[in-house]
Amino acid sequence: MNMKLSFRWYGESDPISLEYISQIPGMRSIVSAVYDVKPGEVWPEESLARMKEACEKHGLIFDIVESIPVHEDIKLGRNNVDELLEVYCENIRRCAKYGVKCVTYNFMPVFDWTRTQLDKKAKDGSTSLVMYWDQMRGLDPLKDDIHLPGWDSSYTQSEVRELITAYGEIGEEGLWRNLEKFLKKVIPVAEECGVRMAIHPDDPPYPIFGLPRIITCEENLDRFLSIVDSPANSLCLCIGSLGCAASNDIVAMTRKYAERDRIAFMHIRNVKLMEDGSFEERAHLSSCGSLDVYEIVKALVDNGFDGYVRPDHGRMIWGETGKPGYGLFDRALGATYINGLFEALEKENAKK
């Protein structure tokens, strides 16, 4: 198959072993990161070397990083931003030195993915992550000491308040300006060392708590890609994130960006959208959620996609416990489903 199947692994502390991951049919690459350093610090080469070696022992390749986090001061364009950008570039160089070909990151202010519950039980007894507006409404991080799943819990409440105020001041256009500065510095370095940078969309793809969010829709993805028109400046097309806005036509977007070779990495999962904009994460199969995963994969295959793919968030099934979204069983089922779609579609196309 042309696509490169991958699996996220949280390093030595991950309860899922590389041995188990290597037993998933067709598994090729490991998606990981150096977890024991803070954003804005240089990644020790020994950690990268260890990761590479551990993967190779199991016949796997460590060639995707998710993520090199972008320090809030880069996103806010303040304080020692130039120094932080230097560190970012150095981390890309170091990753490349150990064989990394794709680096994922996001440009979401303060909070990464946002959900209101991590273990919502479905009728069949499985659990998954959900975002319900009736749980979300009424929460105000400026007033209440709240911690939603997915947030970096290392911020104190007063730090969160300060950050939210600072983002309020720069607004969306300020965030675009700082993203442009980031890309103009980082993409030439990525090009030089053969790395494709893959921005992860905002999850969910609209402002939360009045914070600006810009990697949200086709118009903004077009704007993003035109800032530096290079395959090194590409997308991590997370269909479950973009798919939480009913206005995003994910099949059409996948086709368009695959045609232009601007998708470096695909995150494949399914979500069920509710009428009020709430959503539930579901099994990967098209009929389980709102996204037509078959049509999305077809859009890739029709354009000769040979980038990285990973089964994204799975449900917790068969009694498994662990990191929400990142258990073994349902992601492994997702992987075999993805394999099936690609094999069928690639073979069909080869006959034409």
Cα–Cα distance for residue pair 101/234, rounded to 1 Å? 12
Cα–Cα distance for residue pair 313/293, rounded to 1 Å? 14
DSSP 281: E
Those residues whose C-beta lies under 8 Å from the C-beta of residue 13, and which sit 6 or more positions away, are 35
Binding residues for ligand DNO restricted to 302-321, rule: CB under 6 A: 313
Cα–Cα distance for residue pair 7/21, rounded to 1 Å? 7
Cα–Cα distance for residue pair 233/95, rounded to 1 Å? 17
Asked whether position 63 contacts ligand DNO by CB under 6 A, the answer is no
**Closest CB 144 distance from ligand DNO, rounded Å:** 23
In this chain, which of 6, 32, 106, 216 binds ligand DNO, going by CB under 6 A? 106
Number of residues that bind ligand DNO (CB under 6 A): 12
CA 71 to chain centre: 17
Element (H, E) at 100: none
Any catalytic annotation for residue 326? yes
Any catalytic annotation for residue 102? no
Cα–Cα distance for residue pair 51/44, rounded to 1 Å? 11
**Closest CB 155 distance from ligand DNO, rounded Å:** 16
Any catalytic annotation for residue 193? no
Asked whether position 337 contacts ligand DNO by CB under 6 A, the answer is no
* Set 105, 313, 330, 337: catalytic member: 313
Cα–Cα distance for residue pair 307/293, rounded to 1 Å? 17
Asked whether position 7 contacts ligand DNO by CB under 6 A, the answer is no
Asked whether position 105 contacts ligand DNO by CB under 6 A, the answer is yes
Cα–Cα distance for residue pair 315/123, rounded to 1 Å? 13
* Set 105, 308, 326, 337: catalytic member: 326
Any catalytic annotation for residue 313? yes
Asked whether position 270 contacts ligand DNO by CB under 6 A, the answer is no
Asked whether position 66 contacts ligand DNO by CB under 6 A, the answer is yes
Asked whether position 330 contacts ligand DNO by CB under 6 A, the answer is no
| Cβ 187 vs Cβ 233: under 8 Å | yes
- The CB-nearest residue to ligand DNO is 67
Closer residue to ligand DNO in complex, CB, 113/224: 113
* Set 55, 102, 267, 284: catalytic member: 267
Cα–Cα distance for residue pair 84/88, rounded to 1 Å? 6
In this chain, which of 56, 86, 112, 261 binds ligand DNO, going by CB under 6 A? 112
Residue range at the interface with ligand DNO (CB under 6 A); choices 43-51, 75-83, 103-111, 156-164:
103-111
Strands 196-200 and 127-131: unpaired
In this chain, which of 22, 26, 61, 67 binds ligand DNO, going by CB under 6 A? 67
Binding residues for ligand DNO restricted to 232-261, rule: CB under 6 A: 238
* Set 238, 257, 284, 337: catalytic member: 238
Q: Supply 222's token pair.
A: 């077009």
3-state secondary structure of 28: coil
Q: Supply 336's token pair.
A: 């075999």
Q: Site residues (CB under 6 A) for ligand DNO?
A: 66-67, 104-106, 112-113, 200, 238, 267, 313, 325
